[in-house]
A and B are shown apart, each in its own frame.
Chain A
Amino acid sequence: MWDIKINSKDLSGCGIAGIIHKKGELIPGEMIIKAISCQYERGNGLGAGFAAYGIYPEFKDYYALHLMVNSKKALEEVAELLQKRTFLIFNEPIPTKNVATIKNPPRFERFFVKPRVSEELLEGEASVEEDNLMVQLVMEINDKIEGAYVISSGKNMGVFKGVGFPDEIAEFFRVDEYSAYIWIAHNRFPTNTPGWWGGAHPFTLLDWSIVHNGEISSYGTNRRYIELFGYKCTFLTDTEVVTYILDLLIRRHGLPLEIACKVMAPPFWMEIDEMEEEQRELYEALRIIYGGAMLNGPFAILFAYNGGLVGLNDRVKLRPLVAAKKGEVYFIASEEAGIRAICSDPDMVWAPKAGEPVIIELDENTIPNQKSYLKIRPKEVTEDVLRIGYFPISLFAGK
């Protein structure tokens, strides 16, 4: 009786959505598909993707490499490299399904590996060295092997992304067959950069994954800065750089999460001027030392890691972001309707302040290899740039 038609030509911005269960219970993929598909108008069919945490418990101590290749040759080259440089314990094609609207997709394969730190395969938790070797390996594959891209490389997590609307990409990768304790999703409306399979969000490195609505006007500055530390930008789009900034600031330089967010979206100078002396010195130092990591331009981003989900807006709020909670489950999305589509009666709905991160971490000891970046951690790597060590560590504890 009703003539329901979908018009895909309305102009809009990207849509993002994220869900986390604080107790580490698994959330069915269907939920995130609904949340992002409700924000259908925010994309135009040129990209969609999902990141799922907790999907490979049987290989929880191995890095899960999701690989996208455009040829058999590229796949063979990557497999050969991985044989040489890692302990490769399992690989298989990522299960996909034919979707009528998705034409000529690339091939997807997943590898479960540990880098060869020593001759013997080391059991248990990763060392800093393993993480660093993985980062090098990912950069090398993306940069050197033609037609091959690592689309995710974290433990017990994976990314499924490509060119299409969210429901199409979900169907293609059979996302409804996975359950995860953290999900993030993206519906893309590319404006400045090509809508290609690698350019779809999330962008990842190790277990960092990020989705973004907006544009990073400071991309050039950020890219030059991050390349000084060995990162290579190969995906032709601005969001990629944010992933590497997170890895540098939080994993390598050991900044607490909240401080890292203040590097990317710093307070205005006029706000800094009004701060107490100690705080003011800290924020001045952050702006001076990490000027190259500051993000300019409109953004609403969601990022996740093995242990938490974070939402962050640019400091003048040029993109929408809404958060909600229901019991132990937290939601963040571009539009409240996206949350209401999967949770009609949240306990609380709120609009995060511009530039102030919403950080939801899992309860302690709920998942394997769990990370927490809220607390002050011992510095793992000392680098010259880490002059921030002059400041009393208590300042890093935030408020």
Chain B
Amino acid sequence: MSLELDISLFHYSQANKLVRQAINNGEKEIILRGVKGHRYLLAGISAEVEAQIYGTPGLDLGAFMRGPIIRVYGNSQDGVGNTMDEGKIIIHGMAGDVVGYAMRGGKIHIYGDVGYRVGIHMKSYQEKIPLIIIGGKAGDFLGEYMAGGNIIVLGMFSIYPERPIAGLFLGTGMHGGKIYLRGKIKESQLGPGLKIHSLESEDEKYIENSLKEYAEDFGLNLSDLLKEDFIKIMPFTHRPYGKLYAY
């Protein structure tokens, strides 16, 4: 049994109420159709449920959630996985700005391109290490103020051949976590003080493991994803501005 709903005529608060009711009643599978900009879908849900979303989910899909696995068959708007804690969001299309804003745990797999400020303020603690994998390209401010977790950008499934794999101000203010890019960028695109590093063997292992799951999600060939070399961007110190105010 699953809850299957066409929510095209519902206000988002009504749609979310019905989803929450179903989950409280023990429902494990949610299928939402006719999604047109409905906000906060699955937001704040602490339960191991699986959801399929058809259409274009609105802002803050899966915000603050702990546990659900969401598959979006379409593009999603801004704020996917805002401060999410556990679970996984798989997007079979593109995503907007601020994906994984302040993300604390779980995974976001995106097939195509993403917008600006993706992974801004991601963080990690002990075993909770969030991960965002982007199959396309990313806009400016990728990983801005990043404090933990990992971002992998493949640059492969992009509709923007003219754009670089990631935009300007990459990792500005970053003080934790790692950004892996499949390909090259100019040093001038990086935030102040950041450098391009080559991978170490543990990075390679991590990328391969992560991409194995990504490839399965989208029916891709892992070896194709690993054909090109990756580079790594990481903070030069965990307190890049430690001396800015106290000197």
Chain A residues packing against B (C-beta within 8 Å): 2-7, 38-39, 41, 268, 270-271, 274, 316-317, 320, 322, 335-338, 340-341, 348-351, 353-354
- Which 7 A-B pairs have CB atoms at the shortest separation, nearest pair first? A337-B37, A317-B116, A337-B36, A337-B56, A340-B56, A336-B56, A351-B115
Tell me the smallest distance from the CB of B128 to a CB of chain A, in Å.
29
Chain A residues with CB under 8 Å of B115's CB are 317, 351
CB pair A341–B36 under 8 Å, yes or no, is: yes
The residue from A6, A320, A354 contacting B96, defined by CB atoms under 8 A apart: A320
The docked-state distance in angstroms from the alpha carbon of A38 to that of B13 is: 14
Q: Does B85 contact A (CB under 8 A)?
A: no
Tell me the smallest distance from the CB of B113 to a CB of chain A, in Å.
7
Chain B residues with CB under 8 Å of A38's CB are 36-37
The residue from B10, B55, B117, B141 contacting A2, defined by CB atoms under 8 A apart: B10
Tell me the smallest distance from the CB of B151 to a CB of chain A, in Å.
18
| Overall SS of chain A's interface | loop
How many chain-B residues does the 8 Å CB contact rule pick out?
Answer: 31
A-B contact pairs, 15 of them (CB 8 A): A4-B14, A5-B11, A6-B11, A7-B11, A274-B188, A316-B140, A316-B141, A317-B140, A336-B37, A336-B96, A337-B56, A337-B77, A341-B36, A341-B37, A354-B140
Interface string of B33-50 (1 = CB under 8 A from A): 000110100000000000
Which residue of chain B lies nearest to A315 when distances are taken between CB atoms in the complex? B140
Chain A residues with CB under 8 Å of B238's CB are none
Q: Given A5-B14, A337-B58, is A353 in contact with B36 using a C-beta cutoff of 8 Å?
A: no
16 extra interchain contacts, Cβ-Cβ under 8 A, other than A4-B10, A335-B59?
A38-B37, A316-B141, A320-B77, A320-B97, A335-B37, A336-B56, A337-B36, A337-B55, A337-B77, A340-B36, A340-B55, A341-B36, A348-B159, A350-B160, A351-B94, A354-B116
Which residue of chain B lies nearest to A3 when distances are taken between CB atoms in the complex? B14
| Overall SS of chain B's interface | loop
The residue from B11, B36, B58, B139 contacting A4, defined by CB atoms under 8 A apart: B11
Question: Which of B11, B37, B39, B163 has the most C-beta atoms of chain A within 10 angstroms of its own C-beta?
Answer: B37
Chain A residues with CB under 8 Å of B246's CB are none
Chain B residues packing against A (C-beta within 8 Å): 9-14, 36-37, 39, 55-56, 58-59, 75, 77-78, 94, 96-97, 113, 115-117, 139-141, 159-160, 163, 168, 188
The docked-state distance in angstroms from the alpha carbon of A354 to that of B230 is: 26
Q: Given A316-B140, A341-B36, is A351 in contact with B96 using a C-beta cutoff of 8 Å?
A: yes
Chain A residues with CB under 8 Å of B55's CB are 337, 340
Which residue of chain B lies nearest to A41 when distances are taken between CB atoms in the complex? B39
Chain B residues with CB under 8 Å of A4's CB are 9-11, 14
CB pair B139–A353 under 8 Å, yes or no, is: yes
The docked-state distance in angstroms from the alpha carbon of A5 to that of B10 is: 9
The docked-state distance in angstroms from the alpha carbon of A41 to that of B139 is: 26
CB pair B94–A349 under 8 Å, yes or no, is: yes
Tell me the smallest distance from the CB of B55 to a CB of chain A, in Å.
7
Tell me the smallest distance from the CB of A12 to a CB of chain B, in Å.
8
Which residue of chain B lies nearest to A313 when distances are taken between CB atoms in the complex? B116
The docked-state distance in angstroms from the alpha carbon of A2 to that of B18 is: 10
CB pair A7–B13 under 8 Å, yes or no, is: yes
CB pair B159–A350 under 8 Å, yes or no, is: yes
CB pair B58–A335 under 8 Å, yes or no, is: yes
Chain B residues with CB under 8 Å of A350's CB are 159-160
The docked-state distance in angstroms from the alpha carbon of A293 to that of B101 is: 33
The docked-state distance in angstroms from the alpha carbon of A339 to that of B126 is: 42
The docked-state distance in angstroms from the alpha carbon of A350 to that of B141 is: 19
The docked-state distance in angstroms from the alpha carbon of A3 to that of B9 is: 12
CB pair A270–B37 under 8 Å, yes or no, is: no
Tell me the smallest distance from the CB of A282 to a CB of chain B, in Å.
20
Tell me the smallest distance from the CB of A197 to a CB of chain B, in Å.
27
Chain A residues with CB under 8 Å of B11's CB are 4-7
Which residue of chain A lies nearest to B58 when distances are taken between CB atoms in the complex? A337
The docked-state distance in angstroms from the alpha carbon of A271 to that of B186 is: 12
The docked-state distance in angstroms from the alpha carbon of A110 to that of B97 is: 42
Question: Which of B10, B14, B56 has the most C-beta atoms of chain A within 10 angstroms of its own C-beta?
Answer: B56
Which residue of chain B lies nearest to A349 when distances are taken between CB atoms in the complex? B75
CB pair A353–B58 under 8 Å, yes or no, is: no
The docked-state distance in angstroms from the alpha carbon of A327 to that of B186 is: 37
The docked-state distance in angstroms from the alpha carbon of A320 to that of B56 is: 15
The docked-state distance in angstroms from the alpha carbon of A322 to that of B96 is: 9
The docked-state distance in angstroms from the alpha carbon of A41 to that of B115 is: 21
Chain A residues with CB under 8 Å of B39's CB are 41
The residue from B75, B116, B159, B160 contacting A336, defined by CB atoms under 8 A apart: B75
Tell me the smallest distance from the CB of A340 to a CB of chain B, in Å.
5
Tell me the smallest distance from the CB of B72 to a CB of chain A, in Å.
12
Chain A residues with CB under 8 Å of B139's CB are 317, 351, 353-354
Which residue of chain A lies nearest to B12 when distances are taken between CB atoms in the complex? A41
Tell me the smallest distance from the CB of B81 to a CB of chain A, in Å.
17
The docked-state distance in angstroms from the alpha carbon of A344 to that of B161 is: 25
Which residue of chain A lies nearest to B169 when distances are taken between CB atoms in the complex? A316
Tell me the smallest distance from the CB of A330 to a CB of chain B, in Å.
16
The docked-state distance in angstroms from the alpha carbon of A350 to that of B115 is: 10
Chain B residues with CB under 8 Å of A320's CB are 77-78, 96-97
The docked-state distance in angstroms from the alpha carbon of A380 to that of B84 is: 57
CB pair A270–B14 under 8 Å, yes or no, is: no
Tell me the smallest distance from the CB of A362 to a CB of chain B, in Å.
25
The docked-state distance in angstroms from the alpha carbon of A7 to that of B40 is: 14
Tell me the smallest distance from the CB of A321 to a CB of chain B, in Å.
10
Chain B residues with CB under 8 Å of A341's CB are 36-37
The docked-state distance in angstroms from the alpha carbon of A320 to that of B58 is: 12
